[in-house]
Amino acid sequence: SAAAAAARAAALSRYQTTSVSKPAAPPAEPAVVASAERTSERNSNETANGIEPQNQVAAPAGAEVEGVEEDHADGGANAFTLSGWSGKTPKTMLFEWFQKRQQPRPKMDIEQIGRRFRVVVTVAGGARIELPEGEAFEKKEQAEQAGATAALLRLFPEQPLYRLLPPAYRSLWLKWAGEQKNEEIDAQQQEAAAALLARDRYVDQLAARPLEPFELSRTRRRSTRCEQKSAEEAAAEARAQQMAREAEEEELAAEEEERER
């Protein structure tokens, strides 16, 4: 509805950030520039002489391609760095949301596993939000930012807050949201299968249990009615056959009498 759309827009407006400008590309090495100039001069001469140039200058390695977003989901420590990011971090977004509502800031408990770190986020009311199983990070700050991302996903699953996150944590949001959706689908399928199994067991128990006295009497009455009905049908069939024989005999007698005349 329009009211719901306006509410979502108002909620997202609190987290609007400016876009991040890309760093300038590093200057080309002198050797590459000199090679490019020589190639350009040779192509110009060939074009002036009516010859189509054959060689083109290859783009230097490491050149940026516009419109391509780097995937940070499986990167190492550098993939989750926030250097160069001018927008709000996941932890800042989470803390500001509680601060604006005058609620206690979420508590983050760091857990070290070997040389990596995990975090458990406890929000107002005592709800605990843990990182998905198997998720651990090389630095405490990275674990806290990932924990804040998981908390935002748990609190606002229907809002596209991932669009405001740094690229690495945006990838985490999308990955975890997909896994959560798959888990919900699996749970629904298992629940449906369990309901069908329970129904089949109930039907089997009904079929295997002994009949109650009132059910036995009802069965006997039904059987008696069936027997009576069968006897009546047999008697009616016998009468019909007798009538058919009598009619045939009368017809034969009439024919014989007609011949005698």
pLDDT digits (tens, 9 = 90+) for 118-168: 999 999 888 999 999 889 999 999 999 999 999 999 999 999 999 999 999
pLDDT at 7: 65
Query: Which residue(s) pair with 117 in the sheet?
Result: 112, 137
Q: Quick check: pTM over 0.75?
A: no
pLDDT at 34 over 70: no
CB 177 within 8 A of CB 153: yes
Q: What distance in Å separates the CA atoms of residue 33 and residue 115, rounded to the nearest whole number?
A: 45
Sign of the torsion formed by the C-alpha atoms of 205, 208, 209 and 212: positive
Cα distances (Å, whole numbers) of residue 185 to 156, 160, 189, 192: 19, 21, 6, 11
pLDDT at 74 over 50: no
CB 90 within 8 A of CB 156: no
Structure tokens at 61: 């390695």
What is the per-residue pLDDT across 163-205, written as a single tens digit (0 to 9) for each? 999 999 999 999 999 998 898 899 999 999 999 989 888 888 8
